[in-house]
Structure formats: C-alpha cells, structure tokens
Amino acid sequence: MTKVIPIVALDDAEEALYEIRKKIYPRAVSGWFARWRWVVVFVTQLVYYGTPWLVWNERQAVLFDLTARKFYIFGLVFWPQDFIYLTVLLLISAFSLFLFTAVAGRLWCGYACPQTVYTEIFLWLERKIEGDFIAQQKLDKGPVSARRLRLKALKHAVWIGLSLWTGFTLVGYFAPIRELVFSVAHWSIGPWETFWIFFYGFATYGNAGWLREQVCKYMCPYARFQGAMFDCDTLVVTYDEKRGEARGSRGKKTDYKSQGLGDCIDCHICVQVCPTGIDIRNGQQYECIGCTACIDACDQVMDKMSYPRGLIRYATENSVDQQFGWHEMLRRVFRPRVILYTVLLWAIIIATGITLWYRVPVKVDVIRDRGAMSREVEGGLIENVYRLHLLNTQEKPQRFVIHVSGIEGLQIVGLNQPQEIASAASKTVALDVRVDPEHVPKGNSRIEFQVVAVDAEGREAPGTFSIHEKATFFNR
C-alpha cells in the first residue's frame, strides 16, 4: 500500500514571517479622553525633562551618580547597600500595574507609557509639518518633489532634535546635568556620555518615529500577559455590538430602526483614528492599547447624528452582556482580586515608608583582618585586628565613638576617638581589640561593636543613635 504524502506550498508561512507593515496614518482626534491624554503627556514630560534641573542642598535634587555609586533623591542618599529599596520600587510598580489593569485595562499603555507619549508628540510634530493624515498620505504617494524633500528633511530634523534632547536629559540623571551642558558647549563631553545620548536619542527616534505601534504589537511583553489580569468586570474600550449592529450607512433623518439597522453608521472613523490600525468593532484585541481615540471619534459622530454617545465606551464585558449601568460596574470594582492588589500595594508602601522614616543614617560593616587571626602582644594580652567600614548616609558630617563589648576587659587600641565621617561619605578604620587571655576561652567568642553618634563635644546628645554590629573574637 502506498501512502501519499501531500505536498503543500509554504508560501503563506513565508509571507507571515516577512509580513510587510503597512504604514498607519492615524487621523487626529479631539475630545474628552484626548484632552486627558495630552494633560498626562504634559505632566510626564515636564517631570522627565524638568527633574534633572532641580536643586536640593546645593546639589542636583535627583541624581543617580553611578561614578560615585550614590543615588540622590531629594533629601535621601541611597548607597549600593540600599539595593532593597530598588526591589521594593519594582514591586510597587508591578502591583500598581496589576491593580490599574484589573480595574480599567491598559490605562498605562493608553496614557502614560513612554511609547505612547513620544509617539503622540512625534505624530503631533508630523501633523504640524506635513499636514493631516490625508495630506501625509498624498505626500508619501506623490512624486519626489522639492517640497516633499523639504518637508521630510524638516520633520526628521525636528524629530532628531527632540530625540537628542531626550537622550541628553536621560544622561543628565546619571551625570550632573549642569556640568553636562557646559561640556557639550565646550565639546569636552566624555565618550560614554556622548554615546549614551546618541544611543537613547536613536532609540527614541526609532521607536516613536518609525516603529510606533509595532513596539506594542511585537516587542511589549505587557501587551501579551495583560490578559491574565483582565476579567469580565475589567473596564475596557468596548464597542456595544448589541446597540451598533447591523451597521450601515443611512441618512440623518432616516428611521433606521425600521430598516433593521443599529446605531453604527459604518463611517470607519474609529478605524482611521486607531494608532494600531485595528477595528474595535471586531471585539477586544491584544493590539488595542486602550488609547480611547475611537471613543472620542465615535462620540463626535454620534453627536452629529443626534444619537446618544457611548456606542464605543469604557465598559466591562459583563455590563455589555447583562446590560447594567455605571452603578453596578463601580460596585463590581470591589472584587477579591482588586481588593487583594490594593491591600498588598498599600502594605508594601506603608512598610517602605516606615523603614525609610526610621532608617539609621549610618551603616557599619565589620571586616576581620584576614592575615592574622590572633596574636599575643605585650603584657600577655590577646589581640585581634578588625576593620570597620562606616558609611554616613546623611548630608552632614557625623562624629562617632566606637565601643566594644561581649568579653570582660575588652579594650580598643590604636584608634583616635571620636571618628569623623564627612557628609555622604564612607570611611574604613582599623582597630585592635585586646583582652586578657584569662577571660576568653579558646576558639571563637562573640563580641559586639557599638557605634555611637556623638555631638561636636563628644557627648551622646539626645536624638543621636547607636548601632550594634556582631563580630567574632578568636583565641588560638
């Protein structure tokens, strides 16, 4: 028996791998949501471009000084030892994202994601230079002309200018921005600073100018897993199919209901405004970034037709299916997963706030001298050598007195007391600890260093603090 294996051409698969992207020319949109998006764009960009210029304690208020390994955030100075706060920050961001997504879908994508924000700004510039979406299409399809070249050159020059400023601002978070301006002006900017300005500038230009919605469709992991945070009570941009269908064009005065038509006049404006080029009427799709451009656009059409607004609106799947209103939707916001996310989020924020508030502004590490474990010195005493790494996280100098306890008769030798550490600096002090061998057994014994903050006169003033750090004393 012969078995025939059918041969199937793989053309389709090939095409899918090399899908050619059709450039999307989104139509400009105005309305309630568009206005809010612009508000968010302004606020986020004001914060982004403005923050590095703020001054605090006569230094840059927010500076992630990688060369000095210190992060300044207003009144706080973070050291590599404070790594835990970075983890906490990530946790807070993650839980906020989970919470917002569970309540109202892709709020982050639609309003605050840098990809959305910069694409919005770049689209605005493009419209200012090349005209609206129809003019842009005409320009691209038309013959190569002096006007076309001029407009394109101008557009890219403006885009590149903005991108470089964005890159410069980013580097300004890591290297003092005022000095950076000075070195740019004098062509004395360091190679890595230059590199990163161009790198981030290029990324901005490429992502917001060229890739645009492809970043959301192909690159963004959040777009893929956000579905896991959705449920039937999540607010998403929804086309009310029951109300809209059957779609079709009609005259304004027509009694369309008698003709069996729904409220959708099939004008395609919701498709034209969509930055990812989808048709929201096909239902919830992963490409939808929740930018609400179609809501604004459709509401305007509904107004023109004198139909009620909200054919496309923020709604939950349940509310559309079971036809309930805002009141019930809001009531359903308080469901277990939302409450759980909220409780976790606040627990982390409050715990972080408390630890930051009570943060002891000094850190101590005890390092045993690796060379000599213990030795006998004059008078028959046993000596161990330690190095104490002291770190002052405050922005003022601090004096310390170091004590040691744990074994009777322990004494510190070879250390000037008190020790002073400059503002936001660290210092390693070497010290010898001696004890009479009568009081200390063979082998390891626990001892404890106590670092006490003192005032200028060397007294333990009220409001000062002390830290205890355990160590081992060795006697052979």
Partner 1 sequence: MLKKMMWILWPSFIAAGIGVGIVFTLVDPTELVVHGDHVHVSRTTVYSLGFFVLWAITSLASAMSCFLAAATDARKPPQRS
d(CA 303, CA 306): 5
Give the nearer residue to partner 1 in terms of CB position, either 65 or 448.
Answer: 65
Give the nearer residue to partner 1 in terms of CB position, either 12 or 255.
Answer: 12
CA-CA-CA-CA torsion sign (344, 349, 352, 353)? negative
Minimum Å gap between C-beta 190 and partner 1 is 7
Give the nearer residue to partner 1 in terms of CB position, either 100 or 196.
Answer: 196
d(CA 102, CA 333): 9
Give the nearer residue to partner 1 in terms of CB position, either 211 or 433.
Answer: 211
d(CA 251, CA 246): 15
Give the nearer residue to partner 1 in terms of CB position, either 75 or 206.
Answer: 206
d(CA 232, CA 27): 31
Give the nearer residue to partner 1 in terms of CB position, either 32 or 210.
Answer: 210
Minimum Å gap between C-beta 66 and partner 1 is 6
Minimum Å gap between C-beta 21 and partner 1 is 8
d(CA 121, CA 209): 10
Residues in the site for partner 1, rule: CB under 8 A?
A: 8, 10, 12-13, 18-19, 66-67, 69, 80, 83, 86, 190, 192-193, 195-196, 211, 214-215, 218-219, 221
Give the nearer residue to partner 1 in terms of CB position, either 182 or 326.
Answer: 182
d(CA 183, CA 185): 5
Give the nearer residue to partner 1 in terms of CB position, either 65 or 395.
Answer: 65
Give the nearer residue to partner 1 in terms of CB position, either 32 or 192.
Answer: 192
Minimum Å gap between C-beta 19 and partner 1 is 7
Give the nearer residue to partner 1 in terms of CB position, either 219 or 339.
Answer: 219
d(CA 264, CA 250): 10
Give the nearer residue to partner 1 in terms of CB position, either 79 or 230.
Answer: 79
> What's the number of CA atoms in the CB half-sphere (13 Å) around residue 319?
22
Question: Per the structure block, which two tokens stand in for 359?
Answer: 């943060």
Minimum Å gap between C-beta 44 and partner 1 is 20
Minimum Å gap between C-beta 8 and partner 1 is 5
Minimum Å gap between C-beta 291 and partner 1 is 21
Minimum Å gap between C-beta 67 and partner 1 is 5
Give the nearer residue to partner 1 in terms of CB position, either 12 or 438.
Answer: 12
d(CA 321, CA 316): 9
Minimum Å gap between C-beta 97 and partner 1 is 15
Burial of 144 (0-12, 13-18, 19+ CB in 10 A): exposed
Minimum Å gap between C-beta 165 and partner 1 is 21
Minimum Å gap between C-beta 323 and partner 1 is 35
Minimum Å gap between C-beta 39 and partner 1 is 29
